Amino acid sequence: MQNFQHSVFFWLFCTKKAKSFFLLMLFIIFAARSQMAFAEKIVLAAAADSVPTSYEENGKQTGILVDLLNEAFKRAGYTVEIQLMPWARCQEEVKNGDIDGIFSVFITAERQKYLTYTNEVLITQVQAFFVPVDSEITFDGDLRKLASKSIGIINQTSYGPKLDAALKGGLFNRIDQAQSIESNIQKLLAGHIDLIPSYRHVVLSTAKKLGVTDKIKQLSPDIEAIPSYLAFTQRRDFTKVIDDYNKALASMKKDGTYDTIFNKYF
C-alpha cells in the first residue's frame, strides 16, 4: 500500500513537472513567434503629398525617403509598410503607438518625450522662405525683420530651432496653419499669406507639380539646415530594430546607394 502511494505521488509529481515544462515551452515558442512577427513587419508613417520625399504617383508610393527606407529595411531583414497621411495625424498615431515609426522628423524637446530617434541622419533638410515672384519682401537672415508679415505653416511641423522659437514667441503678425504644402502654396499665391517656410526640395517639387514654378521664388539666405531622422514610438522597445536600421543606412551611404537614390529625383 505504501509503495502504491509512493508511486501515485511520484506520478503526480512528474505530471506537474511535465505540465510546467510543457507550459514553459509553449510560452517560449509563443514569445519567439511574437518577436518574429514583430521583427518581420515595421509600420511607418510619413507626410502625404510631400514631393519629392514621400508621395503617391499613379497609385504607387514613391519618393526619396520612401525608397531609402524600403532599401534600408530590406538590408536589415525587415518588411516595412509605409502609410502616407497628413503630418499631424502621423505624429498623433506614433505618439499613441498605433504605428511603429515616423519619418522624417527633426529632434525637438517635445518629440523626445514620445519618440526614440535613430542615430543615422536620414536627410538634411534646408529650410527657406518662399514668396510670390512679384513680392518685394526680402530676407537677410534676421527673422525679426519679418515680424510684420503673415506666415503660412503646416500644422504640427517643426521648421528647426530658429524658426520654431520665433513662431512660439509670437514674432509674426499672423500665423496661418494648413494641412499640406500644396494648400500652403495655393494660399500664398492667392494672397492670403505673405510668405511660407519649407524644405526647399519639397516646395519646389510641389510647385512644379502644380504648374506654378514661375509664380514663386526663394528668399536668400536659407533659414537653417537641419538633420532629420527616422524615429520610433516609445510605446514599444525598438532597440534591435534601430540598431539594425542604423547599420543598414550607414552601409547605403558607404556604398553609394544613398546618393544614387537621392540623385534619381533631381
pLDDT in tens, 199-230: 998 899 899 989 999 999 999 999 999 999 99
What does the pLDDT look like over 55-71, one tens digit per residue? 999 999 999 999 999 99
Q: What is the pTM of this model?
A: 0.72
Quote the pLDDT of residue 140.
96
Q: Has residue 189 got a pLDDT over 90?
A: yes
Least-confidence region, from 35-49, 85-99, 157-171: 35-49
Q: Has residue 120 got a pLDDT over 60?
A: yes
φ and ψ of 82, to 5 deg: -105, 130
Options 3.90.1150.10, 3.40.190.10, 2.120.10.30, 3.40.50.720; CATH of 124-225: 3.40.190.10
Q: Has residue 265 got a pLDDT over 60?
A: yes
The pLDDT mean for the chain works out to 88
Highest mean pLDDT among 156-160, 204-208, 231-235: 231-235
Q: Where are the domains of the chain?
A: 41-123+228-264, 124-225
What percentage of the chain reaches a pLDDT higher than 90? 77
CATH code at 41-123+228-264: 3.40.190.10
Average pLDDT rounded to a whole number, residues 112-126: 97
Higher per-residue confidence, 20 vs 154: 154
What percentage of the chain reaches a pLDDT higher than 70? 85
φ and ψ of 87, to 5 deg: -60, -40
Would the CATH topology of 41-123+228-264 be identical to that of 124-225? yes
